[in-house]
Structure 1
């Protein structure tokens, strides 16, 4: 009987832990085909959602056609509201970029747009990467 309880407990822990840290993967981009990455989402002790956005091979925005000034990360929540999460910039030879941010809303979709102005409050440019299927 004890082995069954141990197995059941182990399975419960695996399911519980995987439910707490979902990974959203960015889909292939037609604008920046080499770009890859994803978003990990964790709930913190204050019931906020901590999002870690990471990308690789994301070309400098000035290299796009037409050229842009910056990349902005956006989130669509379960309530279908759009929220600006911040800027992400490719660095190093691997063109890696990272952004860690917190939201009170649960993310349904995360996407990155190329924009001419970092102060915008609603997405206006082309969607470069998205987790939407």
Structure 2
């Protein structure tokens, strides 16, 4: 039984999520990520993100886990304002996802209501 759980845990951590993100954004910090094709991987609450075009990478710690149904579509959820977008959530679909803190904003940006932008994710095995 324990061996089966270990194999399942290894398989889950080997999952790579891919998305084409057509705009600049921040993820869990002030670091600005450029538009491009990205891979997302998680190790518990630490998420790595890698731009496949520029090969730049970043790490972010989620502050909460999300759980979605098997039928849920994998997606990224961004909160966008006039001058910026921030990754708010990763929803895997049939598994654990993550919520991220947004960066500090100027008073003008903080007073503006965010609009939600959804970017679909595709899932594959580790490369």
TM-score normalised by length of structure 1 = 0.37
Q: Which has the higher contact order (CA 8 A, sep 6+)?
A: 2
Q: Say which structure is richer in strand.
A: 2
TM-score normalised by length of structure 2 = 0.38
